[in-house]
Chains A and B, each alone.
Chain A
Amino acid sequence: MKAKQKAAPPAATKALAPQEKPGWTDIPIGAVVVEAGNGVNYQTGDWRSERPVVDVDKCIHCLFCWVFCPDNAVVLHNEKFKSINYYHCKGCGICSAECPVKVITMVEEAKAQSNANDSGAADGDGNLSPKAVGKGG
């Protein structure tokens, strides 16, 4: 399997606070989206009630999670599992269900956030910092 065939998720910009979002006079009429690929800016990670937490040490890098993830939220590096993009991960749990070595645990989001002391929002790359991955729960 060539990981290169599937592009890494594009970097997300920082989520805008409600008052920072553009007003009705500054957006195209009819809700037409005029720029391509801007779904990456949409933070779906805050829909999550459970987050996948990966025990990277036991990961066999089969990349099943990367194949099955419906949100393109599994981040690879050199064709190996690197991290979960919690900015986009909706917490569906498919990765955890498909993992053949069962090293992806679904952890209650509130618990995970308090344990990891992390909001789950993206850093500059739209990813959690590597140290956060696998922590918590």
Chain B
Amino acid sequence: MGKLIAATGNQAVAQAMRQIDPHVVAAYPITPQTDVVEEFAAFVADGVVATEFVPVESEHSSMSTVIGASAAGVRAMTATSSQGLALMWEMLYIAAGLRLPIVMPVANRALSAPINIHGDQSDTMGARDSGWIQLYCKNQQEAYDTLIQAIRIAEHDSVRLPVMVCYDGFIVSHSLAGMELLEDDQVKAFIGKHKALHPLLDTKNPVTYGPLALFDYYFEFRRQLVEGMARAANVIEEVAEEYARLSGRYYGRYEKYNMDDAEIGVLVLGSAASTAEVVVDELRAQGVKAGLLRLRSFRPFPKAELARELSHLKALCVLDRADSPGALGGPVGVEVRSALLESAKRPAVINGIFGLGGRDTTVDLITTVYHRLMKIVDTGTVDEPLFYLGVRGGNNNGRELEAAIPQARATR
């Protein structure tokens, strides 16, 4: 049994970083990630960790610095949010393309404009094609646990890819929850010693990082990256099982809640799943066969597994805390639809964009989503394949809330 503490998501992440004790951390503070860097800088100042902490002038530089450190042959980490992630953009692709096992917690936050500091997943969803593994966490405990596992996943011989550990800004990053820390030596033993591949500072075996690869080789290196990502699927599961033996907490690529006999279901990433669990419980008490699937690993995307887990539903709503203007829906919605396309039997699928800019996503609001699904099952028709949950104006002026509140309240 580890140590029970009360921690915010950021404190939980900073504690994991303390226990990981990376060789190099280069970071720039940005809300809502700030406390991660602040707390970790205090660990450095207090001599609690042996990390070389590099304060930099921007996120472009923080990612560049950890790329250099990782290529040099050490364990390197940073952390960011929102505009910071956006400023790292070109370096994200370089970290992945060079196959550097950098681990980066990201406290998810909306992207400007208009400027907003609160939680949505627009920032990391935009980076979905960068070649980074992306794991989305539900709460403080999971952010801590996932960060530790991410080291093993990133550095695995068959993967060697950077990992983003995503957790919702403010909802998880700033709210306090009871959680368990592993012992320092348990973490140390679990992550093991960093093993560098082609370290740049090994002067006896000189190598070149970042050479020009034109039409004759670039394509081959991108194909390799896809393979590393595909292999990560099994590695995530293996590491999760090993971590479960250590901690008693298991996190695979996705998590099911009352899903196996469900007729209607919601798929969502991140903290909104905790709220949806409450809704599922309420609906189950009313005899509604409602289920929930929380996707943790968006990259790699567990296509076959999701097709298997979702195909028995009559109706499914994918909730996206990010939008892709002009696309067929949110990034998760589009991808889940594609994953189901090859299933002989598949549910009617609708896609709801929710919680942008940290808009509170309540039990009542999610209840309306299940009501939409119940209506689809009853009528056999889908009126609105893509909708904006709880947005004001247009023909949607508070519709969900008005519909939801009396019904949801009546059940409690």
Contacts and interface: CB of A to CB of B under 8 A. Distances in A.
Interface stretch (A26-34, A61-69, A98-106, A108-116): A26-34
A29 B224 contact: yes
Contact of A18 (B100, B205, B216): B216
A28 B213 contact: no
Contact of B223 (A21, A22, A24, A33): A24
Contacts of A34: 198, 205, 207
Contacts of B224: 24-25, 27, 29-30
A30 B211 contact: no
Interface string B214-246: 001101110110011000000000000000000
B217 A33 contact: no
A31 B198 contact: no
A34 to B, nearest CB: 5
Interface of A: 18, 21-25, 27-34, 36
A31 B207 contact: no
B210 interface: yes
Interface residues of B, number: 24
Interface of B: 97-100, 160, 197-198, 205-211, 213, 216-217, 219-221, 223-224, 227-228
Contacts of B223: 24
Given A24-B221, A24-B224, A36-B206, A31 B213 contact: yes
Given A34-B198, A34-B207, A36-B206, A29 B160 contact: yes
B149 to A, nearest CB: 22
Name the 3 nearest CB pairs between A and B, nearest first.
Answer: A30-B99, A33-B208, A24-B220
A31 B205 CA distance: 16
Nearest to A30: B99
B208 A30 contact: no
